[in-house]
Amino acid sequence: MSDLVRRLMVTGGAGFIGSNFARLVLAGDGLEKLVVLDKLTYAGNLANLEDLRADPRFAFVQGDIADGTLVDELASDVQAIINFAAESHVDRSIEAPEAFITTDVYGTYVLLEAARRHGHARFLQVSTDEVYGHVPTGSSRESDPLSPRSPYSASKAGADLLAMAYHVTHGLPVVVTRGANTYGPYQYPEKLIPLFITNAIDDEPLPLYGDGLQQRDWIHVDDHCAAIDLVFRLGEAGSAYNVGAGNHATNIDLTGRLLALLERPASLVRHVADRPGHDRRYALDTSRLTALGWQPQVTLDDGLAATVRWYQQHEAWWRPLKSGEYLEYYRRQYGDRLAAGTVGA
């Protein structure tokens, strides 16, 4: 944590990356107060923060980042904000984009305004590699134009640009991280890796979109959180930092690795109708981040094995999530796709 910042607000801290980040910063002794503001949408889960609740430095507030009155009050008592809060699932942004605009764009504006009013020492916007859009060859640099192609990534690009504009226009000390596909413990089982692990544990089919040759740049959540912490402390105000570990894999290759770790057959794979507007490839140039002294610590082999073990050992965490609204979403998203899918290898 920055030596200057002893009182911090983390938004979206009951979600996947935010809860892992809260755990990381409370393991150190740099903070006197950590406020987590989270709306507890379907993706937010207090169980993700269970082990932190007894820490006297920790406070949880259930609320919306788009609620100006609440945000202003909370911002008056901290010196900085790290904004993880977002609607984060691409498929849901295709089905129901409105919440992406209100949270990812408008909510970020509300936070920036409060940070400006209260003269915060730092504002870190957690952005994504998806703002660059599909990258056919090479790797994205921070100076590349943003070219988002889904309602999710367009909303995230809006927030990213707005945060940068607050630096230029108002001198707010903003830094932005653009992270790659992240995996690890506490990830809601709608994203590829936890969905496929939990389905495979139950011998349920794995719905692989299209030909499965789309490529992602995978990073373990511990490495992603360490990078956010470093950029928060040492990043140059007004700059964005790509956060990726250089683990490029196609979805079909990744699926094979998960099945091998779980000792399940390739016949669980179903090739299903593709995601509309599906970005084929993301890849990040991370030289700006590594120049700050960051290096990934977790290899893809070790990270995937540890993640598979975590889901095997934490059924009590994920089984209750795969019920109610989740099952309705699952049926809408995958019902027809799976019925028409073909068994793959």
Q: Which residues bind ligand TDX (CB under 6 A)?
A: 88-90, 128, 130, 181, 191-192, 195, 207-209, 214, 216, 251, 275
**H/E element, 305:** helix 300-313
Residue of minimal CB distance from ligand TDX? Answer: 128
Q: Which of 87, 129, 222, 279 is catalytic?
A: 129
Should residue 307 be labelled a site residue for ligand NAD when binding is judged by CB under 6 A? no
Smallest separation, CB 43 to ligand NAD (Å): 3
Nearer to ligand TDX, 5 or 269 (CB): 269
| Residue 268 or 284 with smaller CB distance to ligand NAD | 284
**Least distance in Å: CB of 245 to ligand TDX?**
13
Q: Are 180 and 218 in contact (CB under 8 A)?
A: yes
The span of 50-58, 85-93, 273-281, 329-337 binding ligand NAD (CB under 6 A) equals: 85-93
Among ligand NAD, ligand TDX, none, the one that 195 touches (CB under a kind-dependent 5 to 8 A) is ligand TDX
CB 276 within 8 A of CB 326: no
For the chain, helix, strand, coil in percent to 5 are 45, 20, 35
Cβ–Cβ < 8 Å for 345, 260? no
Q: What are the phi and psi torsion angles at 71 (to 5°)?
A: -65, -40
Residue 95 among the catalytic residues? no
| DSSP class per residue in 227-286 | HHHHHHHHPPTTEEEEE---EEEEHHHHHHHHHHHHT--GGGEEEEPPPTT---B--B--
Residue 253 annotated as catalytic: no
The entry of ligand NAD, ligand TDX, none near residue 149 (CB within 5 to 8 angstroms by kind) is none
CA–CA dist 297, 245 (Å, integer): 9
Alpha-carbon torsion 188, 89, 36, 27, what sign?
positive
| Catalytic-role residue among 38, 87, 130, 223 | 130
User: Positive or negative, the Cα torsion across 105, 107, 109, 115?
Assistant: negative
What is the distance between the alpha carbons of residues 59 and 34, in angstroms, rounded to a whole number? 6
End-to-end alpha carbon distance in the chain: 46
Answer for which of 10, 65, 115, 254 binds ligand NAD (CB under 6 A) is: 65
- Answer yes or no whether residue 244 interacts with ligand NAD by CB under 6 A: no
Q: Is 263 a catalytic residue?
A: no
Tokens of 232: 């928060």
Q: Which does 207 bind (CB under 5 to 8 A by kind): ligand NAD, ligand TDX, none?
A: ligand TDX
65 binds, among ligand TDX, ligand NAD, none (CB under 5 to 8 A by kind): ligand NAD
Q: Is 296 in the site for ligand NAD (CB under 6 A)?
A: no
Closest C-alpha to 91, from 337, 310, 343, 267: 337
92 belongs to the binding site for ligand NAD (CB under 6 A): no
CB 81 within 8 A of CB 111: yes
Please state the φ and ψ torsions of residue 227, each to the nearest 5 degrees.
Answer: -70, -40
Our finding on whether 185 is near ligand NAD (CB under 6 A) is no
Q: Which stretch binds ligand NAD (CB under 6 A): 63-71, 264-272, 289-297, 307-315?
A: 63-71
Among 36, 60, 75, 84, binds ligand NAD (CB under 6 A): 84
User: Taking the C-alpha atoms of 160, 163, 169 and 171 in order, what is their torsion angle to the nearest 10 degrees?
Assistant: -130
Contact region for ligand NAD (CB under 6 A) — 7-15, 136-144, 309-317, 329-337? 7-15
Q: With binding defined as CB under 6 A, does residue 133 bind ligand NAD? A: no
Using CB under 6 A as the binding criterion, the count of chain residues that bind ligand NAD stands at 31
Q: Which long-range contacts (CB under 8 A, 24 or more apart) does 317-323 make?
A: 317/47, 317/186, 318/189, 318/194, 318/198, 321/45, 321/188, 321/189, 322/189, 322/198
192 touches, from ligand TDX, ligand NAD, none (C-beta below 5 to 8 Å by class):
ligand TDX
Mind telling me the catalytic residues? 129-130, 152
Q: Where along the sequence are the contacts to ligand NAD (CB under 6 A)?
A: 11-12, 14-18, 37-41, 43-44, 64-66, 84-88, 103, 107, 126, 128, 156, 179, 181-182, 188
